[in-house]
């Protein structure tokens, strides 16, 4: 019983097999993957247990994967989070609604604005606040800029994980150009605290559209370079193609969203499925892939950046005038009518959602954050890591767009 | 694997020619954006220490602390924010909520210090490398989280109200009151400005939470004339309201009125008036049944003493009844409020003038303590020729008559002389008595007028005309009408009160005609009874008291209200009454500061 199962899973699966098994039995809710205890005879010397993280530079943030290796090959992976737990959801229950506003952005470092937007829109929905038209457009602009910034850094991270270090540096530097724009717009670089319940805090500064255009041109040039250096790179192709294949059948049961799902050819995009803000007025298509491996997911993210650039240009061109913010009641005693709501948005990593419950008091009764990382980086990673080489794990994790702060809230 | 895939990555070298995105600190400096949220700056002159920043800070990074050179006073708590940058998250909600707009943030990126204590500092007080006038995040009007707009009080249209003595303000509806109450920041700056220190934030909170019964109890803790004050108080609280610095102050007065109006029918029940009062040995005589006297009576009765009020009129209320016209304070309101005070078991002797019907000395022997609160009841006359001419009235006497229900015929053209609240009451009452034209002559300009701005505004709406920098010099009879010689004035150097002294302009004399002239230029105190018990008076005729205890030079005789302050408003009289009650209690129970010297 002990070592019976392990010997079956030692084959390296660098390429997707055509006859991948249909929905495996371990997706049975009564027998979840995490509850399946596998035991490996470590004393035999055949297996080695190591911790990948939480200090590993290839790990996206502070999480660790407990690996059991047979030679170079991973036979079991368990994800461990909790290194970054700050209890934001609980903190919010002891803070007035306006006091939650500066907290939520900290839930996810690379994409804070999605948290700001979702919290604000959840509260607005419960309180019945109508955001002015221009405020909605600026919100969309901010979210698209955020997506571009996050994915640019993500591309760099993905490249860095395979040793293409210059691209990592280009990605971070170009994110910084976008952060400069954020600084100009919001007053903050990483955490913007800009999308406030009621609208956005301030109107666009003078000449902002031109500054955005300069950065977008730089970004386009960068993508063209990355195209040559990364996507037409024999090494990258050799390592990324076929790695971390996610069959389309997994998408729904695992709750996979975002580019990770679209790379498998499943057209899921909250911007199209449940248009929020002004996405129904913008001209864009769902970007679909088919191969569903690390290479494909990375390629899709590159396409998403270009799509965001197109959206940003559209938004700036068609931005209406008017106020950007609705007047709120006195926020010091702001009571939100009792009720609950789930709001969602398409973040760079996938669907992000906020479940906000109000009991009619000045404090939220419960705020629950649904992030894409939770499924991608924990459940899916544990499946995908089995059978790959330990050297490829660092490349697999960023391709699932892991963000531990968002997992732990 | 194609050859292209092997060669293409080498194009990365091209990027080595690009200008790197780095700043060579310290050779090069990069300025933060205009809106950058760096360390805080605070204009401490503008800051009033209201502590709203402390209230909104979700990290509790802000503490309000005393600062050496800033002293607490009316409208300034004397505290200033101190910020702990180990906690601050640079969200700038404190800046967005600041009612005065004093708080901001600099756009400095980098600040290095080896001393960890320096990370806790008071912006604007402690010296830092960044300056207040630097760029950085400042609150825009759009970003302001507070509501600067007052919820307007529904009032009678000027055209309607100028023909009737009915009350002009209708009072807030529930929705309006809650909306107005929700504007409050609960900073409590107002409490100190109120002479009787009413717990304003607490009763506003009670309105917000629809706990009006609690609200009423809070009102009566400090002010048994809350209902009248809710209508006619001069509202020193509103003058210092934190929201008033960049918008309309909270309508504290109207909110107070809202509580008392809504609970009027059950007032005695809610307050448990007259029930389970403590019983104490001791009797107190109160001379004058105005706001000061009745307030003292109310609290002394609640301390448990036997209280007797001596009133020279046949009704209580003093200036609230005889000085304030019906359209601002209806008599029914005053009556029911006084009834509450009487229901505590206060005894009243009407139509008794102390000094004439009974001497102060006799009273002193009858009671353990006395409180003199006779007010300032004598209208001042102008020392000009023809002041005795028929048709020339004194403002206070005129208001007195109206309060008693008389409706004298003033003719078509009325001139009111003076610029205080009494002058406003007189001119507006004159409009209501059917005068076609009412003029107010004031010897200074509108800016110097002691009357409340609101009253001046309402008088103008009702059609009262103002002649500033004008004073009458002689009045004479000409047929049926009065002939008034006037002179124009100009403003000279400031006098002792800080107001600029009016100086006549030679050769600017002119003459006008009128049917009635009403002098409303001030009031005096009648302190003639003082000598009966050897009580000292000041040279202005007011009673001289120890400002801490309100006790006169005679042990056991206290004085307060207008007769001690000089002509002032109701709320100061109420404050004096409350204070006197406290010290009379101390005095009688022989625990007070004069214990050793008294009997």
Identify the CA nearest to B442 among candidates B422, B467, B465, B464.
B467
Residues of A within 8 A of B32 (CB-CB) are 183
Which positions 277-296 of A are in contact with B (Cβ < 8 Å)?
Answer: none
Q: How far is B366 from chain A (nearest CA, A)?
A: 54
Q: Which residue has the higher pLDDT, A15 or B582?
A: B582
Assess whether B571 and B478 both reside in one domain. Answer: no
Question: Considering CB atoms only, which of B92, B137, B142 is closest to A325?
Answer: B142
Instruction: Give the start-end residues of each E strand in B44-102.
Output: 62-66, 79-84
Query: What confidence category does residue A23 fall into, taking pLDDT thresholds of 50, 70 and 90?
Result: very low
Alpha carbon distance A275, A82 (integer Å): 34
Please give the residue of chain A at the shortest CA–CA distance from B7: A233
For residue A147, the model assigns a pLDDT of 93
- The region that residue A347 occupies, defined by phi over 0 for left and psi between -120 and 50 for alpha, beta otherwise, is beta
Question: Considering CB atoms only, which of A183, A228, A333 is closest to B208?
Answer: A333
Q: How far is B108 from chain A (nearest CA, A)?
A: 12
For residue A87, the model assigns a pLDDT of 87
Mean pLDDT score, A296-309: 93
pLDDT at B540 over 50: yes
Structural domain includes residue B5: no
* Three-class DSSP labels, A240-289: HCCCCCCCHHHHHHHCCCHHHHHCCCCCCCHHHHCCCCCHHHCCCCCCCC
Give just the sign of the alpha carbon dihedral B532, B535, B538, B544: negative
Which positions 205-264 of A are in contact with B (Cβ < 8 Å)?
Answer: 205, 225, 228-230, 232-235, 237-238
Q: How far is A404 from chain B (nearest CA, A)?
A: 21
CA B86 to mean position of chain CA atoms: 41
Percent helix, strand, coil in chain A, to 5, is 50, 10, 40
Q: How far is A116 from chain B (nearest CA, A)?
A: 12
Alpha carbon distance B319, B559 (integer Å): 17
Residues of A within 8 A of B35 (CB-CB) are 183-187, 202, 205
> What length is written for chain B?
599
Assess whether B266 and B202 both reside in one domain. Answer: yes
**Angle between helix A165-186 and A133-161 (nearest 10):** 160
Residues of A within 8 A of B138 (CB-CB) are none
Mean pLDDT score, A308-337: 91
Tell me the DSSP string of A79-139: EE--TT---HHHHHTTS-HHHHHHHHGGG-SS-HHHHHHHHHHHHHHHHTPPPPHHHHHHH
Mean pLDDT score, B168-193: 90
Q: Which of B245-259, B266-280, B370-384 ranks highest by mean pLDDT?
A: B245-259
pLDDT at A28 over 60: no
Task: Answer whether B21 sits within 8 Å of A237, measured CB to CB.
Answer: no
Structural domain includes residue B152: no
Question: Considering CB atoms only, which of A188, A203, A233 is closest to B5?
Answer: A233
For residue A400, the model assigns a pLDDT of 87
Assess whether B116 and B236 both reside in one domain. Answer: no
Alpha carbon distance B349, B362 (integer Å): 15
Mean pLDDT score, B290-301: 92
Domain limits for position B129: 26-145
Residues of A within 8 A of B188 (CB-CB) are none
Task: Answer whether B146 sits within 8 Å of A330, measured CB to CB.
Answer: yes
In chain A, the percentage of residues whose pLDDT exceeds 70 is 89
Assess B98–A contact: CB distance below 8 Å, yes or no.
Answer: no
Residues of A within 8 A of B13 (CB-CB) are none
Query: What confidence category does residue A35 fall into, taking pLDDT thresholds of 50, 70 and 90?
Result: low
Mean pLDDT score, B505-527: 86
Q: Which of B499, B522, B545 is the last residue of a domain?
A: B522
Mean pLDDT score, B486-507: 83
Alpha carbon distance B125, B410 (integer Å): 61
Alpha carbon distance A304, A284 (integer Å): 11
Residues of B within 8 A of A191 (CB-CB) are 89-90
Residues of B within 8 A of A180 (CB-CB) are 33
For residue A244, the model assigns a pLDDT of 84
Question: B438 near B430, Cβ under 8 Å?
Answer: yes
Alpha carbon distance B354, A284 (integer Å): 92
Assess A149–B contact: CB distance below 8 Å, yes or no.
Answer: no
Give the mutation candidate from A100, A187, A212, A329 for the B interface (greatest B CB count, under 10 A): A187
Q: How many domains does chain B have?
A: 4
CA B337 to mean position of chain CA atoms: 21
Mean pLDDT score, B565-583: 90
Mean pLDDT score, B144-170: 87
Query: What confidence category does residue A12 fall into, taking pLDDT thresholds of 50, 70 and 90?
Result: very low
Distances (CA, A) of B3 to A51, B40, B51, B506: 39, 58, 70, 107
Q: How far is A402 from chain B (nearest CA, A)?
A: 25
For residue B132, the model assigns a pLDDT of 61
Domains located in chain A, CATH noted: 6-80 (no CATH), 88-408 (1.10.645.10)
A135-189, pLDDT tens digit by residue? 999 999 999 999 999 999 889 888 988 888 888 889 889 999 999 999 999 988 8
* Three-class DSSP labels, B8-28: HHHHHHHHHHCCCCCCCCCCC
Assess whether B518 and B396 both reside in one domain. Answer: yes
Assess whether B117 and B93 both reside in one domain. Answer: yes
In chain B, the percentage of residues whose pLDDT exceeds 70 is 98
Collapsing DSSP to helix, strand or coil, B253 comes out as: helix
Task: Answer whether B14 sits within 8 Å of A234, measured CB to CB.
Answer: no
Q: At B180, which CATH number? A: 1.10.1060.10
Q: Which residue has the higher pLDDT, A48 or B29?
A: A48
Q: At B555, which CATH number? A: 3.50.50.60
Structural domain includes residue B277: no
For residue A241, the model assigns a pLDDT of 86
pTM: 0.84
Question: Considering CB atoms only, which of A99, A184, A229 is closest to B12?
Answer: A229
Assess whether B460 and B474 both reside in one domain. Answer: yes
Assess whether B189 and B55 both reside in one domain. Answer: no
For residue B110, the model assigns a pLDDT of 81
CA angle A104/A107/A112 to nearest 5° reads 75
Tokens of A117: 């937007």
ipTM: 0.82
Q: At B111, which CATH number? A: 3.30.70.3270
Q: How far is B100 from chain A (nearest CA, A)?
A: 16
Q: How far is B9 from chain A (nearest CA, A)?
A: 4
Give just the sign of the alpha carbon dihedral B327, B332, B337, B338: positive
Assess whether B130 and B214 both reside in one domain. Answer: no
Task: Answer whether B8 sits within 8 Å of A185, measured CB to CB.
Answer: no
Alpha carbon distance B288, B310 (integer Å): 6
Tokens of B278: 């403590």
Task: Answer whether B56 sits within 8 Å of A193, measured CB to CB.
Answer: no
Identify the CA nearest to A24 among candidates A247, A236, A347.
A247
Alpha carbon distance A368, A355 (integer Å): 5
Q: Which residue has the higher pLDDT, B84 or B131?
A: B84
For residue B161, the model assigns a pLDDT of 84
Mean pLDDT score, B128-156: 83
Assess whether B574 and B561 both reside in one domain. Answer: yes
Residues of B within 8 A of A327 (CB-CB) are 147
> What length is written for chain A?
409
Assess whether B420 and B384 both reside in one domain. Answer: yes
Assess B6–A contact: CB distance below 8 Å, yes or no.
Answer: yes
Mean pLDDT score, A3-9: 41
Structural domain includes residue B243: yes
Structural domain includes residue B153: no
Lowest-pLDDT range, A143-157, A333-347, B476-490? B476-490
Alpha carbon distance A260, A251 (integer Å): 9
CA B396 to mean position of chain CA atoms: 23
Q: How far is A388 from chain B (nearest CA, A)?
A: 22
Q: Which of A353-357, B315-319, B440-444 ranks highest by mean pLDDT?
A: A353-357
Q: Which residue has the higher pLDDT, A407 or B582?
A: B582
pLDDT at B7 over 90: no
For residue A37, the model assigns a pLDDT of 65
A235-279, pLDDT tens digit by residue? 888 888 888 888 888 888 888 899 999 999 889 899 988 899 999
Assess B4–A contact: CB distance below 8 Å, yes or no.
Answer: yes
Q: Which residue has the higher pLDDT, B389 or A270?
A: A270
Question: Considering CB atoms only, which of A180, A186, A330 is closest to B183?
Answer: A330
Alpha carbon distance A342, A357 (integer Å): 9
Which positions 67-106 of A are in contact with B (Cβ < 8 Å)?
Answer: 95-96, 98-103, 106
Q: Which of B112, B145, B178 is the last residue of a domain?
A: B145
Q: Which DSSP letter does residue A71 get?
A: T
Alpha carbon distance A351, A370 (integer Å): 8
Strand partners, A325: A199
Which positions 326-345 of A are in contact with B (Cβ < 8 Å)?
Answer: 327-333
Distances (CA, A) of B41 to B46, B53, B86, B115, B480: 12, 13, 17, 20, 69
Lowest-pLDDT range, A100-104, B200-204, B529-533? B529-533
Who contacts B181 (Cβ-Cβ below 8 Å, separation ≥6)? Answer: B204, B205, B207, B208, B250, B255
Task: Answer whether B33 sits within 8 Å of A187, measured CB to CB.
Answer: yes
Assess whether B103 and B193 both reside in one domain. Answer: no
Assess whether B501 and B390 both reside in one domain. Answer: yes
Q: A73-80 and A64-70 as β-strands: parallel, antiparallel, unpaired?
A: antiparallel
Task: Answer whether A330 sits within 8 Å of B185, measured CB to CB.
Answer: yes
């Amino acid at each position: 019983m002990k070592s019976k199962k392990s010997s079956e899973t030692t084959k390296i699966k660098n390429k997707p097999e055509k006859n991948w098994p249909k929905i495996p039995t371990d997706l049975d809710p009564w027998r979840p993957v995490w509850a399946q205890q596998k035991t490996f005879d470590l004393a035999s010397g055949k297996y080695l247990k190591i911790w990948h993280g939480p200090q590993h530079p290839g790990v996206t943030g502070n999480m660790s994967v407990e690996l059991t290796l047979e030679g170079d090959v991973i036979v079991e992976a368990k994800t461990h989070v909790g290194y970054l737990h700050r209890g934001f959801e609980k903190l919010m229950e002891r803070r007035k609604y306006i006091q939650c506003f500066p907290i939520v952005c900290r839930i996810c470092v690379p994409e804070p604005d999605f948290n700001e937007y979702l919290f604000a829109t959840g509260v607005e929905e419960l309180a019945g606040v109508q955001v002015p038209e221009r405020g909605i457009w600026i919100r969309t602009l901010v979210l698209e800029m955020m997506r571009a910034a996050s994915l640019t850094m993500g591309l760099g991270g993905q490249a860095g994980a395979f040793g293409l270090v210059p691209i990592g540096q280009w990605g971070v530097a170009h994110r910084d150009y976008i952060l400069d724009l954020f600084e100009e717009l919001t007053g903050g670089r990483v955490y913007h605290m800009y999308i406030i319940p009621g609208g956005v805090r301030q109107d666009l500064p003078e000449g902002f559209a031109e500054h955005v255009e300069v950065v977008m041109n730089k970004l386009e040039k960068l993508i063209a370079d990355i195209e040559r250096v990364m996507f037409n790179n024999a090494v990258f192709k050799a390592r990324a193609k076929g790695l971390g294949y996610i069959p389309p059948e997994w998408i729904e049961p695992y709750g996979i969203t975002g580019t990770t799902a679209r790379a498998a050819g499943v057209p899921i995009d909250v911007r199209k499925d449940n248009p929020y803000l002004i996405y129904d007025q913008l001209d864009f298509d769902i970007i679909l892939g088919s191969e569903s491996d690390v290479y494909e997911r990375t390629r899709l993210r590159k396409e998403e950046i270009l799509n965001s650039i197109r959206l940003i240009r559209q938004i700036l061109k068609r931005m209406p005038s008017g106020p950007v913010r609705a007047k709120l009641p006195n926020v010091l005693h702001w009571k939100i009518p009792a009720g609950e709501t789930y709001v969602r948005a398409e973040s760079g990593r996938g669907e992000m959602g906020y479940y906000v419950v109000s009991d009619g008091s000045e404090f939220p009764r419960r705020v629950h954050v649904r992030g894409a990382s939770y499924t991608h980086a924990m459940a899916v990673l544990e499946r995908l890591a089995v059978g790959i080489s330990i050297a490829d794990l660092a490349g697999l994790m960023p391709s699932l767009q892991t963000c531990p702060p968002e997992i732990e809230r | 694997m194609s050859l292209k895939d092997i060669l293409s990555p080498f194009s990365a070298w091209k990027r080595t020619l690009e200008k790197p995105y780095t700043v060579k600190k310290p050779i090069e400096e990069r300025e933060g954006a205009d809106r950058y949220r760096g360390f805080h700056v605070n204009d401490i002159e503008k800051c009033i220490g209201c502590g709203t920043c402390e209230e909104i800070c979700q990290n509790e990074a802000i503490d309000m602390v005393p600062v050496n050179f800033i002293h607490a006073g009316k409208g300034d708590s004397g505290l200033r924010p101190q910020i702990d940058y180990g906690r601050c998250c640079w969200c700038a909600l404190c800046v967005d909520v600041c009612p005065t707009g004093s708080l901001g943030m600099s756009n400095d990126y980098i600040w290095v210090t080896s001393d960890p204590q320096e990370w806790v500092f008071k912006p604007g007080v402690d010296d830092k490398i960044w300056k207040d006038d630097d760029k950085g995040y400042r609150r825009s009007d759009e970003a302001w989280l507070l509501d600067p707009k007052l919820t307007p009080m529904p009032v009678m249209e000027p055209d309607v109200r100028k023909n009737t003595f009915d009350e002009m303000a209708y009072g807030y509806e529930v929705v309006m009151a809650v909306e107005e109450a929700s504007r409050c920041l609960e900073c409590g700056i107002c409490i100190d400005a109120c002479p009787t220190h009413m717990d304003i934030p607490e009763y506003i909170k009670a309105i917000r939470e629809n706990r009006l019964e609690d609200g009423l109890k809070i009102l009566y803790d400090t002010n048994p004339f809350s209902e009248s004050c809710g209508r006619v108080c001069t509202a020193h609280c509103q003058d210092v309201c934190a929201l008033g610095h960049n918008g309309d102050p909270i309508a504290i007065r109207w909110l107070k009125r809202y509580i008392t109006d809504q609970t009027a029918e059950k007032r005695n029940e809610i307050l448990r008036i007259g029930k389970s009062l403590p019983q104490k040995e001791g009797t107190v005589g109160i001379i004058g049944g105005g706001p000061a006297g009745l307030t003292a009576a109310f609290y002394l009765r609640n301390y448990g003493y036997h209280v007797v009020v001596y009133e020279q009129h046949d009704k209580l209320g003093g200036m609230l009844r005889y000085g304030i016209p019906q359209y601002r304070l209806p008599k029914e309101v005053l009556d029911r409020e006084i009834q509450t005070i009487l229901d505590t078991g206060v005894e009243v002797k009407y139509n008794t003038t102390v000094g004439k019907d009974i001497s102060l000395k006799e009273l002193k022997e009858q009671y353990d303590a006395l409180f003199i609160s006779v007010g300032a009841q004598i209208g001042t006359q102008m020392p000009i020729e023809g002041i005795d001419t028929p048709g020339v009235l004194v403002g206070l006497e005129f208001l007195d008559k109206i309060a008693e229900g008389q409706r004298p015929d003033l003719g078509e053209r009325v001139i009111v002389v003076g610029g205080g609240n009494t002058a406003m009451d007189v001119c507006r009452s004159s409009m209501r008595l059917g005068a076609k034209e009412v003029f107010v002559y004031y010897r200074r300009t509108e800016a110097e007028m002691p009357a409340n701005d609101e009253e001046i505004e309402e008088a103008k709406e009702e059609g009262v005309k103002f002649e500033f920098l004008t004073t009458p010099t002689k009045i004479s009879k000409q047929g049926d009408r009065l002939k008034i010689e006037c002179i124009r004035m100009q403003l000279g150097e400031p006098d002792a009160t800080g107001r600029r002294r009016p100086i006549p302009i030679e050769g600017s004399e002119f003459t006008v005609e009128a049917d009635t002239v009403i002098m409303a230029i001030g009031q005096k105190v009648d302190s003639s009874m003082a000598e009966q018990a050897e009580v000292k008076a000041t040279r202005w005729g007011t009673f001289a008291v120890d400002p801490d205890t309100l006790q006169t030079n005679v042990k056991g005789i206290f004085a307060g209200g207008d007769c001690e302050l000089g002509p002032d408003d109701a709320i100061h009289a109420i404050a004096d009454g409350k204070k006197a009650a406290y010290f009379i209690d101390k005095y009688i129970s022989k625990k007070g500061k004069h214990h050793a010297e008294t009997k």
